[in-house]
């Protein structure tokens, strides 16, 4: 290595935080910084808003919380120094609260100032921030420039955008700070960094998981690395937070787009990469106003680190689609239960595919001893419903009991006359009441087992099978439920384990068993067809004409759309569940319950035909 080149070992601490736990999250940063120091890391990057957890939602609006976050980042810098970790530069996300009033902008493109607004007279400016800590001090603070306001993100509601891009010289290497959405914007902070001249860009992230999102991130980071003319260090959060689950998938990409290192998904992990930069390769290093941002430069140390033998970075093997989804659902369920301090879960085991998959997910997440299944047969339950449920419980090793509901249903009927759908739903409500009673009695959280297809068309009984505190497969279409069941059994076979899901649960026609001989296809199209329409209408927001152009039958589309629209009031009352799709029901899709708009068949012009 010649005198001009500089080396630096960077660590990406892909950690699982808890929203609101400032003390616990600070301790988490300290533990992982110590690991980084043991690994010889000079600069360690943590995810977006590590100290507060992400997303903190309306906690941002509490000045007490914001001020506590500000104190926490200063105290963390001092604590790291006190524990002998002050020589490691630490980039950590937190909630900042700057002086003066400042409105959250109405759109995702940020304003260039923080002037007070009569329409939004807040007493301070909350910021999505990252700080670089070194030597017991907060060296610089960066405020996120681009605030996403789409999908599950409401950052324009909460934060004031930043206008400054700090560049820190560490061991002779110029490091620029950005945060998450800043990478998704062409010509944003990475473009400013490229014009200013830097050696490295670090990006703390809290990027929620959805299917195949890991395939989008690498091309994105490559584009920003080319724009910055420097390597990008992309450190993402891992873990579950209410409906969201974060998969990690942290990575480092060189200026020419080479993937240098990539972390595994869905686990906490310290990813390290050794970088060598040549300061003479950057033709000019400027500061001051560049486009909408002001570049500032700060020096921590000019002296390069002593030369060391660089190690190649590790690149984690990608997961298959089903394994990726399964692990997302397991992590989302585990963190919801454990972060909320719940000891165990209970669910109704019907012998059907949905409750079977939820039971195995719960056992994988919590261990079978924390899972309690209950068989609740009615007069219409088939013999195989009980035997399949018992078989699954034996295979998985979870607790199982049977409580027949026929006497209770008969008692209701002796007091009030119910027929048709009302009588069918009574059975589901009796089951829901019993399960909630067991939940209260023993402290279990009740899991509801409805899938996305059922939730979409309202095929669940309000206060019956929809009752529960968490819905693990709420965002999983029925066809994917079957795929996951087959994958989980195959996964067990390859490991020499007992297949957890009885084959009969997978093979038999789905049925609510609320009436004699009932099957789902009595009143619904096939699930292949139904799920395709739901994906286009719910996830894709396609209208009637576009749905017909996709090849869906007009009568079937009209019927499905009526069901989806009419079930909105049910979905508003449903339990949260892990998001895995482009658009999940809940915070991702917000339609009015009281709503007269309905999709109609397109008008056919004279002389035209529509098949």
Catalytic residues: 48, 144, 180
Strand partners of residue 91 = 45, 132
Query: Dihedral, CA atoms, 440, 445, 448, 452, nearest 10 degrees?
Result: 150
Let me know: does 157 contact 126? Beta carbons within 8 Å.
no
**How many whole angstroms separate alpha carbon 292 and alpha carbon 112?**
7
Q: What contacts 249, CB < 8 A, 6 or more positions away?
A: 213, 214, 217, 236, 262, 263, 265
**Helix (H, G, I), strand (E, B), or coil: what is residue 272?**
strand
Query: Dihedral, CA atoms, 229, 199, 136, 64, nearest 10 degrees?
Result: -10
Strand partners of residue 142 = 130
Gyration radius of the chain over CA positions: 27
Alpha carbons within 13 angstroms on the beta-carbon side of residue 215 total 7
The DSSP bridge pattern shows strands 6-14 and 269-277 to be antiparallel
**How many whole angstroms separate alpha carbon 159 and alpha carbon 149?**
11
CA 565 vs. chain centroid, Å, equals 26
CA distances to 455, 559, 560, 601 from 555, rounded to whole Å, are 21, 6, 9, 10
**Closest listed residue to residue 102, CA positions, set 61, 51, 64, 148:** 61
**How many whole angstroms separate alpha carbon 525 and alpha carbon 35?**
54
CA 241 vs. chain centroid, Å, equals 7
């Amino acid at each position: 290595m010649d005198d001009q080149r500089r080396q630096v070992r960077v660590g990406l601490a892909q950690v699982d935080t808890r929203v609101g736990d400032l003390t616990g999250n600070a301790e988490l940063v300290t533990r992982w910084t110590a690991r980084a120091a043991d690994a010889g890391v000079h600069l360690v990057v943590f995810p977006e808003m590590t100290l507060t957890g992400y997303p903190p939602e309306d906690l941002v609006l509490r000045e007490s919380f914001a001020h506590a976050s500000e104190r926490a980042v200063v105290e963390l810098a001092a604590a790291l120094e006190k524990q002998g970790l002050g020589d490691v530069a630490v980039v950590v996300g937190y909630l900042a609260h700057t002086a003066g009033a400042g409105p959250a902008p109405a759109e995702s493109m940020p304003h260039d100032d923080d002037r007070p607004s009569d329409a939004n007279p807040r007493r301070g400016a909350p910021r999505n921030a990252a700080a670089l800590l070194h030597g017991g001090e907060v060296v610089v603070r960066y405020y996120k420039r681009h605030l996403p306001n789409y999908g599950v993100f409401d950052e324009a509601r909460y934060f004031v955008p930043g206008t400054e891009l700090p560049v820190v010289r560490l061991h002779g290497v110029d490091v620029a700070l950005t945060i998450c959405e800043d990478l998704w914007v062409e010509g944003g902070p990475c473009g400013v960094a490229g014009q200013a001249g830097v050696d490295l860009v670090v990006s703390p992230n809290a990027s929620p998981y959805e299917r195949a999102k890991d395939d989008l991130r690498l091309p994105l980071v490559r584009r920003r690395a080319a724009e910055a003319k420097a390597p990008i260090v992309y450190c993402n959060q891992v873990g579950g937070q209410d409906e969201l689950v974060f998969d990690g998938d942290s990575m480092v990409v060189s200026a020419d787009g080479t993937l240098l290192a990539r972390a595994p998904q869905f686990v906490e992990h310290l990813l390290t990469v050794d970088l060598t930069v040549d300061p003479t390769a950057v033709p000019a290093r400027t500061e001051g106003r560049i486009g909408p941002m002001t570049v500032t430069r700060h020096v921590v140390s000019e002296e390069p680190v002593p030369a060391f033998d660089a190690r190649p970075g590790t690149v984690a093997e990608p997961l298959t689609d089903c394994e990726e989804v399964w692990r997302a659902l397991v992590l989302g369920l585990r963190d919801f239960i454990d972060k909320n301090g719940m000891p165990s879960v209970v669910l109704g085991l019907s012998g059907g595919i949905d409750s079977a998959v939820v039971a195995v997910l719960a056992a994988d997440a919590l261990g079978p001893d924390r899972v309690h299944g209950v068989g609740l047969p009615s007069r219409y339950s088939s013999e195989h419903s009980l035997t399949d449920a018992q078989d699954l419980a034996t295979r998985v090793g979870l607790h199982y009991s049977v409580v027949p509901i026929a006497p209770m249903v008969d008692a209701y009927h002796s007091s009030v006359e119910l027929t048709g759908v009302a009588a069918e739903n009574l059975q589901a409500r009796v089951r829901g009441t019993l399960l909630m009673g067991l939940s209260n009695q023993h402290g279990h959280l009740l899991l509801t087992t409805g899938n996305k297809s059922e939730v979409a068309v309202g095929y669940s009984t309000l206060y019956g099978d929809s009752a529960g505190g968490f819905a693990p497969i709420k965002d999983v279409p029925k066809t994917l439920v079957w795929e996951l069941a087959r994958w989980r059994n195959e996964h067990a076979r390859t490991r020499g384990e007992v297949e957890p899901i009885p084959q009969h649960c997978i093979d038999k026609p789905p049925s609510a068993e609320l009436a004699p001989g009932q099957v789902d296809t009595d009143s619904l199209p096939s699930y292949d067809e139904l799920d395709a329409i739901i994906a286009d209408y719910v996830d894709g927001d396609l209208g009637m004409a576009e749905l017909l152009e996709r090849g869906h039958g007009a009568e079937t589309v009209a019927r499905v759309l009526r069901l989806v629209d009419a079930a909105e009031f049910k979905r508003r009352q449903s339990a949260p569940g892990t998001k895995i799709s482009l658009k999940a029901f809940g915070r991702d899709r917000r339609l009015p319950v009281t709503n007269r708009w309905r999709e109609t068949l397109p008008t056919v012009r004279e002389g035209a035909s529509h098949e």
